[in-house]
Structure 1
């Protein structure tokens, strides 16, 4: 007989956390504000959780954070960084990752504890991007999209659902998690780097060899909004299919809505797991969004619920 998964219904108060996460400054290479927010959130709320976790950060972990619950069998990797822009010279901006801004999109940066804000200017012939501002930023100042978070009964629209939604799911998962690891990573939007040392630490310390990637995917001809989070069977990287089929069977038996995804390109933190010296089974599980890397990323609330349900199921039964 098939068993139904225990479902935690997300509430309006839960989504206040997502709104806050989407507003925090954290482009690739400068993720400490996000990490510090997560640490403060955990220390404040853990008294209400099923299991009090151990936190590892600081020396040897750079900007990352590893949160360990009980006797872990599975690790969840989710990146904290976002796309954005770096000021070069004379108000010229160069990409961090692949941001999709348009003319007059508002961006903001932090400089000497002050906020700099202004619209983007995209030159029609050269396509070079610059900042419209009376103030000349310091060379190296990073800028991110201004977040205007809106929620309806069906959708949430905001900058940086990629991947503050993954962080949100991890923090909601933490409320009921007895055994598992949450690894908050950096640099994903520029090709990665932190998972390499994190996976080695996790594998050697806890003898773990299976992982889930909590990130967002995209709407496509085969993936629709509102039909459930995706269990990705492959992108540029191909996980061991026996492990993926195991996840699919568990989701089907629990009657949790999900979509199978197959893509030829794209990647995630999983790349460093597949290339690691330690043997990892991994799978990307995430809600699909539209408007990827724009200030107006959109996700269906049903897909957020599906994503959380899947993670609760997998962390309990893997």
Structure 2
């Protein structure tokens, strides 16, 4: 099986490569030197897709590339960079898939639970529909629309609406650990907003599940079955580190630091993975307590 992957130096893809390594893997990346340092030299790296007429030589395409959404404040210029990094590459990949006579069997393309925008505490799954002007929704909605254009009787498309990916290897949890280890961690704003999370292992095994199960197509929430409030998340993390959970971060402070991007943490969504569960996937880490128990090891 031949696999083309974008976003190879990111947390998800860099950990997915070793799982898929028995396959013939090609990684598209803008920085080959960095990707080689992370992934090693046994991977075939592509610095451009312009020389390709189609993607017929690949069985699977995994498209998770994109400018990090939380690394910089959302100025108008930064929003355009975030959009361009997702939309242009996805459109290019879709056009290459459609240009072939024997296209890949599956396109797995990224998205995020930001698609749902700011929601109440009601549980929502893939059937939930939303239309609003929030940046995160518009970003994800168009990203998904572009990817879905690759669908045909030869190519199935799976969209991953991903929650907060938790891992000791990097990502969001690594950034949270520092203040909590100092005893300075605590809830954000009211603490009642829901956090929909997924352990990295379930992220990786879930992708493998979609590849192997040919009946899987469409949108999938990649979140654990048991989302928690920010208050519960903070208390569980503090407990796992034997630290207090006392320092609340006020909303006005976040607004001052992050501007519009503060919406990602001040508000939330209680997202559940109905379609992934219905497809037969069994979560390795369904409960947050199991995730944080691993921090002690």
State the TM-score, normalizing by the size of structure 2: 0.25
- TM-score, scaled to structure 1: 0.24
Q: Higher strand fraction: Structure 1 or Structure 2?
A: 1
Greater relative CO, 1 or 2 (CA 8 Å, sep 6+): 1
